[in-house]
Amino acid sequence: MFDAVLFDADRTIFNNDGLHELVTLKIIEKVGLDEALADHVHKAWDKKYFEEQTRLMENEGFCVDRETSAKSLVIALKEFGKEISYEDAYKMYQIMVDEFTERSKPYPDMLTLMDFLIEKGIKMAIVSNGDNEVIMNRLKKANIENHFEFVIAPCEQYPLTKPDVKIFEESLAKIRTTAKRTIFVGDNPYADVKGANNAGMFSVLIDRWEAYNQLEGLEVPDLQITNFDELKAYICERITS
């Protein structure tokens, strides 16, 4: 039996489809670039974000989403002839906050799973590499913030980033249970599954679009699902067996 389920946030609890592209479009309009460049800027920003994230993880052990996003935006826009300051890019993150707060909603099967876990007395929490304000805004907007014991996201209080095992160990200490009695669910084989496996948790990869049919060279989860009905069924089976 499990005592707790820990969730990643984006693309696990919350549906973000198309939102980063929308944010990119609003930013290039703000800086005066042709909107026809939106897709190119979006891809460049994504690429620079993950490069900066990797660099920070290797050199400092963690990264804060808002700061990494601002730094990578400066670099990406420069490729298209637009130079902005880090301070301006940091302020533009508010566009991300506003759009995600307004448009990013929990998946319907997540809400169903939550009701089931509450009924069974299984605790829930969130461990994310995302922005704490964005996560909390969406939880409040969906009126589900009280269903989670806590939210851990990289910040001054928690200078940790998945897959660092320390962030998983911190979450276990806060939720007061053992790794063996804890499920961790996320959509990323590296950040979520690797970290959970290293911490000894029961790892679940939610792969809604079946992007990871082949896991060769990637961290293998204890369970791979395409929706939360499958996780609910698995827990039910464990309860009755």
Show pLDDT as tens, one digit a residue, over the chain (241 residues).
899 999 999 999 999 999 999 999 999 999 999 999 999 999 999 999 999 999 998 898 889 999 999 999 999 999 999 999 999 999 999 999 999 999 999 999 999 999 999 999 999 999 999 999 999 999 999 999 999 999 999 987 888 899 999 999 999 999 999 999 999 999 999 999 999 999 999 999 999 999 998 877 788 999 999 999 999 999 999 887 6
- Which domains occur in the chain, in start order? 4-15+105-240 (3.40.50.1000), 19-103 (1.10.150.240)
pLDDT for 241 equals 66
Phi and psi, residue 12, nearest 5°: -115, -65
Give the relative orientation of helices 65-78 and 86-103 as an angle to the nearest 10 degrees: 120
- 163, with CB counted inside 10 A (0-12, 13-18, 19+), is buried
Determine if the pTM surpasses 0.85.
yes
Q: Taking a C-beta distance cutoff of 8 angstroms, is the pair 219, 194 a contact?
A: yes
Tokens, residue 21:
């592209």
Q: Taking a C-beta distance cutoff of 8 angstroms, is the pair 224, 212 a contact?
A: yes
Q: Which amino acid is at 78?
A: K
Question: Cβ contacts of residue 3 below 8 Å, gap of 6+?
Answer: 122, 123, 175, 177, 178, 181, 182
Strand pairing class (4-7; 151-152): unpaired
pLDDT for 91 equals 97
Question: Cβ contacts of residue 221 below 8 Å, gap of 6+?
Answer: 189, 193, 196, 197, 203, 204, 205
